[in-house]
A and B are shown apart, each in its own frame.
Chain A
Amino acid sequence: MASEDVKILGAWPSPFVMRPRIALNIKSVNYEFLQEQFGSKSDLLLKSNPVYKKIPVLIHGEKPICESLIIVQYIDEVWDSGHSILPSDPYDRAVAKFWATYIDDKWFPGLRTISRAEGEEAKKAAAEEVTAGLVLLEDAFIKCSKGRSFFGGEKIGYLDIALGCFLGWLRVTEKMGNLKLLDENKTPNLFKWAEKFSSDAAVKEVMPETGKLMDFAKVLLAKSKAS
């Protein structure tokens, strides 16, 4: 396919922005990465996503596509280079989409709660919920991977992307809160998966380095306390 005009509006720390970037990497599609300035929204963003005004937005030619998981599905449907991101079997697809919805609606908000928790008790309770969620996902991993390296099997798939994008923030939350969330003993498969995912060719260059992300998190925290 001739190289078309593909842009991603986003920001390097955002896990949601990582998702379409990983997908485009899997498909070997070149794109322009337009980074939003923290604290302000560009005209292009407001024009492309007037409803939510959020990143990521994929702009393909003139067409804007919003919502990270919807973008990943779009990418999988438009480009057949690389490998398929979603499974081919309808039931496997439904399972992947179910867990991705769970991650966004239930699990990730739990992760955010940890950093906002006031006091040790609250922090501990929030951390336990996150770990409980990971135990569910460990079970899902065993069923989906069928003994192979990723949720998607031999190669990274939709659910790997949906969960893996949060690994950077997970590590930061662990370090800053002095917590163990992804526990080698409680979720041994996910623990191994996390390493493999982070070092995958499609992921490596877009996964923010933990130190850099932690500095960013500290700035964010300071700003939110000041306001």
Chain B
Amino acid sequence: MAEELKLFRTWSSPYSLRVVHALKIKGLEYETIFEDLSSKSASLLQYNPVNKKVPVLVHNGKAICESLVILEYIDETWKQCPLLPRDPYEKAKARFWAKFGDEKLSSSIWNVLISQGKEQEEAIAAAVQNLKLIEEQLQEKKFFGGEKIGYLDIAFGWTANLISILEEIIDLKLVDEEKLPLLSA
């Protein structure tokens, strides 16, 4: 079946990486188009006129935007290796924490980066608090999705990489092995 599957992304965008991971887990072949955000291509603007952002997935001419929306689309269209839990309550929880990750967690971590002195101390406390909440969701499981990587692992994937980079930049430890043992693993 010759299907057209294209992903518009940038190499660094964590939101784009979510889609890359999902497509990989599903074993799908696709074409990657790297965008230069300072000079967006006509195609990107055509496929995502509202937000003009990456990632955008184009499947047989139809454009899907917003990384978490794309994840659900991929999961519903290709049924192998399910990403989201089947149980509606577990699904609702996964969606809730993914949203939390995008809203509260990412802004609290960003605040740590851009603030200094006392403000930064407070920002760190807030970020660690948020990370603790995520830690609780892991409980004793290997992944948020249980034995296998799932929707929430993909949604949080950016934390693994980005946080260690930020820690290096600002020379601080956010994901302390003592305080957050499960998350650092």
A residues within 8 Å of B by Cβ?
Answer: 51, 60, 63, 65-67, 70-71, 73-74, 77-78, 90-91, 93-95, 97-98, 101-102, 136
Closest-CB distance, A33 to chain B (whole angstroms) = 20
Which residues on the B side are within 8 Å of A97 (C-beta)? 66, 69, 72
Residue of B nearest to A90 (CB): B76
The interface on chain B, measured as residues whose beta carbon lies within 8 A of the other chain's beta carbons, has a size of: 23
Which residues on the A side are within 8 Å of B64 (C-beta)? 91, 94-95, 98
Q: A93-B72, A98-B64, A98-B69 are in contact. Are A74 and B92 (CB under 8 A)?
A: yes
B77 CB within 8 Å of chain A: yes
B residues within 8 Å of A by Cβ?
Answer: 50-51, 59, 62, 64-66, 69-70, 72-73, 76-77, 88-89, 91-92, 95-96, 99-100, 104, 133
- CB pair A94–B96 under 8 Å, yes or no, is no
- CB pair B69–A51 under 8 Å, yes or no, is no
Which residues on the A side are within 8 Å of B65 (C-beta)? 98
Q: Could you list 16 A-B pairs, sorted by A, with CB under 8 Å?
A: A60-B89, A63-B89, A65-B92, A66-B96, A67-B96, A67-B99, A71-B92, A73-B95, A77-B88, A90-B76, A94-B69, A95-B64, A98-B64, A98-B66, A102-B50, A136-B50
Which residues on the B side are within 8 Å of A90 (C-beta)? 73, 76-77
Closest-CB distance, B94 to chain A (whole angstroms) = 10
Residue of B nearest to A102 (CB): B50
Residue of A nearest to B89 (CB): A63
Closest-CB distance, A11 to chain B (whole angstroms) = 20
Main secondary structure of the interface of B (DSSP, over half): helix
Main secondary structure of the interface of A (DSSP, over half): helix
- Give the docked Cα–Cα distance between A98 and B69 (Å): 7
Q: A78-B88, A101-B66 are in contact. Are A91 and B96 (CB under 8 A)?
A: no
Which residues on the A side are within 8 Å of B70 (C-beta)? 94
Interface centre among A67, A74, A77, A98 (most CB of B within 10 A): A98
Which residues on the B side are within 8 Å of A77 (C-beta)? 88, 91
- CB pair A74–B100 under 8 Å, yes or no, is no
Q: Which of A63, A66, A101 is within 8 Å of B69, CB to CB?
A: A101
- Give the docked Cα–Cα distance between A74 and B73 (Å): 17
Q: Which 5 A-B pairs have the closest CB atoms?
A: A77-B88, A90-B76, A94-B73, A74-B92, A94-B64
